[in-house]
Amino acid sequence: MSDIFKCFVFYIVLTVFEVTGIDFTINRENVLLGSTGILTLRCDITETDVETIYNIQIKQLRSSTLSRNNDDDWQRLAFMKISTNDNPTLDSAITPGDKDYVAGGSWDSTTPANTELTLSMNMEKLVCDDARTFKCDLSYYSNSQANKEVSKNSTFTAYVKPQVTSLITRKNGFIVEGMSSSDMATAEVGDELELTCTGNIGSLPGTIIRWHRTSATSHANDFIGYQPPQGTYDEGTAISDNQCGYKRVASIRYNVTAADANRDNNLAFECYVTVSGDPYPGNSYTSENNPRFYTDVNNPSNGVTDSVMSTTDGNGISITAGVIAGIVIGSLIVGAVILAVLKRKRAVTGRNNQHQPTSVSREIDINVSSLSLNTYEQLQNRTDTESRMIYDSLDASANSSGVPHSESQYESLKQRGGTSHTYAGLNQDR
């Protein structure tokens, strides 16, 4: 019984030895896509029964959904065979620049076990779909006078870096922009902010999107961890990108407070992704160049805003609130002056219609709106002088006729403006 068992074990060992007559390895089990470095596939002959090598090949499964047993489902990438003078060669169907493919290795016809075939590629050019199964095929003539073929498969796992792709902010339901500390949005105490972050969360579906907020006690833009209160955070659902990564859309709601208006620096948020655990290097990797949202918070109840509000005219020209207020106040002052001038002009016009002023009085009436008080008094004195000259002339005429004029007649003449009708009236009184 023991002899039969020993023979069975020997058969199994021999079978495994023949099938594993080559050692096919990949220098990295896990490949972080986009990282620098070279991925190398190496096929070494370990079979001691090899007398003559016909060919050695490295192939890749055409699709991860295809069968591994059908030879047509495999694409040859590199090979060595006797008819090519034993040089490692890329297959003619392969474009070397696609992945920076390089075929290498050496052929040792004296000691076939020293023969190896390699294929290297640039990891920065790899994509998720490149992580399909590879295999090495060896066809040889054995020392036992038989043609044999052996194969061995190998593969690697591709995973991606997390990356946040967008951050959209709404203030009270309307989209606002504030991408930097020099290009901030404005907000007031009581406003509701809703921030929606979209990101590729890497290759681990359990990864969530996290948040930072600026410190309220620092003048610098120091971002610290922010844990949204319960009920204000929606972590979203991990959705496969049908490659080797997942996407997630998360959002938070934030009510602007009076403390935000009194903080040492501006209120700002950042969303980011941190992945941890195998296969990431160092068991942790954090997304880079994450988007941010900045806002300057005002408190209307203080009566003073922290920044000058602005509006835009139809041509896109920015006008500050201070300029608008100045325009309004100036318009009110100009309007008041115009009303005062018109009122005074109507009053003067009424007197003129009643008393029919002389040419000097009409000159005062016409120019009263533009004359200073001193100029008006000068013209009035001029009118008085002319009226007295007219009175003196009449008085001299009256004295020669024996009828003197009284001083009250002069005052009457002065009040009536010294018109010709006034003099005619005086002559009738005389």
The pLDDT confidence band at residue 335, using thresholds 50, 70 and 90, is low
Q: What is the CB neighbour count within 10 angstroms for residue 195? A: 20
> For residues 222 and 263, what is the distance between their CA atoms, to the nearest angstrom?
13
Higher pLDDT, 392 or 401: 392
| CA end-to-end span of the chain | 174
Most confident of 215-229, 261-275, 326-340: 261-275
Least confident of 6-20, 124-138, 228-242, 378-392: 6-20
Nearest to 290, CA basis, from 205, 203, 201: 201
* Token representation of residue 353: 């219609």
pLDDT score, position 17: 36
Averaged pLDDT of the chain: 77
Return phi, psi of residue 313, to 5°.
Answer: -85, -175
pLDDT score, position 275: 94
Q: Return the domain boundaries, the chain.
A: 2-159, 163-303, 347-429
Whether domain 2-159 has CATH 2.60.40.10? yes
% of residues, the chain, pLDDT over 70: 65
Contact 10, 27 (CB under 8 A): no
- CATH class of residue range 163-303: mainly beta
Overall average pLDDT of the 126-142 stretch: 93
**Where are the extended beta strands (E) located within 277-388?**
284-286, 292-298, 310-312, 318-320
Which single residue is written with the structure tokens 């498969």?
153
348-394 per-position pLDDT tens digit: 555 555 544 444 444 434 444 444 445 445 545 555 555 565 556 55
Least confident of 34-43, 171-180, 343-352: 343-352
Nearest to 235, CA basis, from 261, 208, 258: 208
Overall average pLDDT of the 36-61 stretch: 92
H-state helical runs in 188-320 = 258-261
Which single residue is written with the structure tokens 């290795």?
105
The pLDDT confidence band at residue 120, using thresholds 50, 70 and 90, is very high
> For residues 234 and 163, what is the distance between their CA atoms, to the nearest angstrom?
19
Which residues does residue 188 pair with via DSSP β-bridges, in sequence order? 298
Contact 200, 312 (CB under 8 A): no
pLDDT score, position 284: 85
pLDDT score, position 178: 95
Overall average pLDDT of the 406-411 stretch: 56
214-224 per-position pLDDT tens digit: 998 887 888 99
Most confident of 41-55, 244-258, 281-295, 337-351: 244-258
Q: Do domains 2-159 and 163-303 have the same CATH topology?
A: yes
Instruction: Tell me the three state secondary structure of residue 287.
Output: coil
